[in-house]
Amino acid sequence: MVLDGIADLCSSPNDEAEALELVGTCMALAQEFHCPLFCVLHENPGSDIGKTRGHLGSELNRKAFANIRIEKDAETSISTIYGSEMRKRDIPREQGFCFGWSEEEEMHVFLARAGEIKTSVKEAKARIEAEGIFPLQTSVRYSEAVNAIMDALGCTKRTAERRMITYEGEGIIFKTTAGNYMRNE
């Protein structure tokens, strides 16, 4: 059973007695009918740590077998589902499951694990950066490449050198036999 908006079943999620009674009733129903009960309760606005609303949220967190969180990235519209404060084992955010809307499927679909998405986003960002810095079919010396990165990104020499390592490690650029660097097509 899914209770989407369990806070609507009480007059105030901050009333301790009412919260205890509602959670007790929900637990009794789940036991009586031998079924899991999924309660949806929104977090406090601006909460980065997942603090749910009022005494009701605190009591549900304490009594729940698993606390599942869903976070939606405002830029990508990708939702990540992960678990914290779970009885058996947490599902860290980096290992969470990512879903997004598919125009082709006309529904939300599983995209990848959060760590995989983060890696692919990082690779895509590095590729876009490198495309703006390294013209195709043009080789440059290491020092020229570092200077170009510093100019393009407004970063320090050390950061630019780390970007060179990243670009080469990702196969975005390669070292020619003459010792210069070129962008892969």
Q: What is the pLDDT of residues 84-101, one digit of tens each?
A: 777 778 888 888 899 988
β-bridge pairing 38-40 and 79-84: unpaired
Q: What separation, in Å, do the N-terminal and C-terminal C-alpha atoms of the chain show?
A: 53
Mean pLDDT in residue range 155-164: 91
Contact 122, 106 (CB under 8 A): no
Res 127: pLDDT: 86
CA separation (Å) from 158 to 62, 152, 162, 163, 181? Answer: 47, 14, 6, 9, 18
What pTM does this model have? 0.59
